[in-house]
Amino acid sequence: MTEPDLIVRGQRVLTPDGIRPAAVAVRGGEIIAVSGYDGIDGYGGAAGQAGQASIVELESDEVLLPGLTDTHMHVNEPGRTRWEGFASATRAAAAGGITTIIDMPLNSIPPTTDPAALNAKRAAARGQIHVDVGFWGGAVPGNADQRGALHEAGVFGFKCFLTDSGVPEFPPLDETGLAEALRGVASFPSLLIVHAEDAGVLAGAPRPEGTAYRAFLRSRPATAETAAIARVISLMRQTGARAHVLHLSSAEGLDMITAARREGLPLTAETCPHYLTFAAEEIPDGATEFKCCPPIRERANRERLWAALGEGVIDCVVSDHSPCPPALKMRELGQFAAAWGGIASVQVTLPVMWTHARARGHGLGDVIRWMASGPARVAGLPGKGQIAVGCDADLVAFAPDETFVVDPARLLHRHRLTPYAGMSLSGVVRRTWLRGVPVTGEQPGGRLLASAMAGR
């Protein structure tokens, strides 16, 4: 029998079969066995020992979880590193129980739209990362001839916008460009991930004026999302491509997504903790830390998103962590039209989701399905997101009943203006292991990941 070098055991371990007493044996960063709590006795030591393995006993109030996978993060390095960077973003991720991230292709300069830019990203990340990091490529006008090479180089898929992205170096695709991108990902094969807001609908919407959140909300109507999703579905039928709807904020698109799946189309969707936590009715005027696109919608819409999560219509929950220097949020002016749109959240997404999921009758298994195994499945990371033999030993000791108040001064990402400030939450991440090694925030131990589909 192969001897482990680490065993983590406790009375509550979340396995694919549910929460149970278990011992998780690790060798070389990989889980080699998940046995009963006393299973370490089979490794040749006396009772309570296991040869040369280091044994970690969970506290009685802790649950062992798989590390989370966050497939929607804007790290912004290189080029806009003063907004966020690999060291700060991954340190914050690990502190929040996230052990794998996939970085978005925009907000960095250059954007990840050709292999040279991908190499620049990897060079910037190397030696700085505290969790494992992969990369999405970008689909923008004029880079169709670069996408095949990006796929071969290991990006996990391609992101596109159907409206203004907010940065000039990452323009949106028109109808022809969207069809071309879908045909491309079908041929590789790969995945197109879509910021689904329709430019025409947004152009016809009222302009946001002043500090009123309601005015901003009217400027990004739900019909912009539904029109964009309808376009994607129609072109999926024509091309046979696989697509994923990013940061779904409007429940109006759920029926279309359900119908497309019944038809057999390979369409998936995600939402974000801010859409499941906040409600438009509760956002103060001028509170630009709540600005994101698509926007946070009404309370009734939020509850429909929760129902869709429970039913499996929405596949996963990811942060869309997109911080910026506080000056760009223009908090002192409160002008939603001018403020940068993005939520800073990566360190608190697990307790945020657990707090609000538990209040609705969901268990930790549901939260982990949405935030660990679900994103890993969408992105194609079979060794991530669950405590099972053959998976990476990415583990989190989580105290679900311990409470805390979000203090921005204790957040580790670069800029700490966040709508979660002052919120009382349940669930504390006490320890995180990346491939069996404790993540302390001192010695970067993350690896750069490439898609398993590269070269196929």
> pLDDT by residue (tens digit) across 158-193?
999 999 999 999 999 999 999 999 999 999 999 999
Does the predicted model carry a pTM greater than 0.85?
A: yes
What is the arithmetic mean of pLDDT over 201-215? 95
Q: For 67-382+412-424, give the CATH class.
A: alpha beta
Could you tell me if 421 and 408 are in contact, meaning their C-beta atoms sit under 8 angstroms apart? yes
Walk across the sheet containing 137-138 and list its strands.
137-138, 158-161, 192-195, 243-245, 267-271, 316-317
How would you label 210-225 residue by residue, b for 16+ Cβ within 10 Å and e otherwise? ebebebbbebbbbbbb
Number of H helices, E strands in the chain: 14, 17
Identify the pLDDT of residue 1. Answer: 59
**Proportion of the chain above pLDDT 70, given as a percent:** 97
Give the model's confidence band at 110: pLDDT under 50 very low, under 70 low, under 90 confident, else very high. very high
Would you list the domain boundaries of the chain? 6-58, 67-382+412-424
User: And the tokens for 181?
Assistant: 């991108």
d(CA 247, CA 295): 10
Identify the pLDDT of residue 456. Answer: 65
What is the arithmetic mean of pLDDT over 377-389? 97
**Proportion of the chain above pLDDT 90, given as a percent:** 94
Distances in whole angstroms, Cα of residue 84 to Cα of each of 40, 74, 107, 393: 42, 8, 10, 27
What is the arithmetic mean of pLDDT over 137-156? 98
